[in-house]
Amino acid sequence: MYVGREMLAAVPEERRDDYLRLVEEISDLKYQLGVEVARQLPRMFVEHDDAAIDRYLGQVRAIAAIGWKSGVEVAKQLPDLYHAPDRSIADAYVEIVTDATMGAPDDEETLAFTTELNELERQLREIEPKQQRAQELKSLLAARDRRDERRRKHAQELAAALPPILARLRPRHREVYLREVRLVAAADPEAALEAANTMLDLLNGERVSHDGAAEWTRRGLDVLEKNKEVGRGYFRMGSKYSLEVLEELREGLALRQVARVLKLYATALSGRDVAVRGIDEMSSVDRFGPDHIILPDDMRFFEDDDRNFTAYKVAAAHGAARIEFGTYRFQLTDVPDAIEQLMERYGSRLA
């Protein structure tokens, strides 16, 4: 509560903290009560001791508890009554105002009304939190209903888009395609619209195996669970992470599937028995040798196995040609005249 500067100045300096505290306490009961007490206390601090001040505030509080307007008037009049020769006058004054404010004791009917009202107010206080919770639930359900409406809209779009996509899907991919698209649709129909088109391209283009398609979907669902928009971008191949996962899962043509054919092919071209080895064997054999060819463990330069097999054949033919024409059999001792000329020209710098 705001206290005027002139009122605070009228209070002895050493009592000003007490003055502000007491005014604040009375103001908590009723602001108007605090205003009147703030006016009266400065002279109370000058004219009376602490016992009188406590008596004054106690009587003001008692009257205010049954009628704050009477309390304001009592707070105004009491300091003057304390100067009366008979101390009992102030007390009698408070008793008269108290009885006048309270009135006669309530009759039985009034007491019954009061009791009933108190009970109803108690029940209303208990109901209030339930009403607040009911309102919260209504808001939550309304928000979910809006989300459900959007979901139904995208489900309708998915229903229209799927038949022409399924007509383009190769039959051998049908089972895995339907399973994975259904998983995405259950999580988010909008993402399923994206996944339906993307999965068609991945499977028809042989870019992933059936197991790879399932893993690609699983990782996308993890993203979708954390963030719907980012997850939808994943399924339309619009995120870096989606492309990274696809590159990781893309199997290509494994060397082990075609190693025997490539061995026969390289042997026929070079005219000698040639072994075909994978890069994972490089630690146990020379990278270049006259009796073997090192090839990648899998070829996934192209999106289909036929062209990847062609790339394997080109690499095998290259290696067979080196073997046939002795690229790896060459030794400097095979050209002694050339070595002698180089030594004469460059001397020790050849070492």
- How do residues 162-195 score in pLDDT, each as one tens digit? 999 999 999 999 999 999 999 999 999 999 999 9
Place of tokens 């990274």: 244
User: Which range among 76-85, 220-229, 262-271 has the greatest average pLDDT?
Assistant: 220-229
Give the DSSP H or E segment for 299.
Answer: strand 298-299
Model's pTM, two decimal places?
Answer: 0.41
Distance CA 45, CA 12 (A): 7
**Helix, strand, or coil here: 276?**
strand
pLDDT at 231: 94
**What is the distance in angstroms between the CA of the first residue and the CA of the last residue of the chain?**
100
As a whole number, mean pLDDT of residues 228-248 equals 91
- How do residues 286-298 score in pLDDT, each as one tens digit? 666 667 888 887 7
By percentage, how much of the chain surpasses pLDDT 90?
33
Domain boundaries, the chain: 5-102, 108-251, 253-324
Q: What six digits make up the tokens of 160?
A: 């229209």
Q: Provide the mean pLDDT of the chain.
A: 85
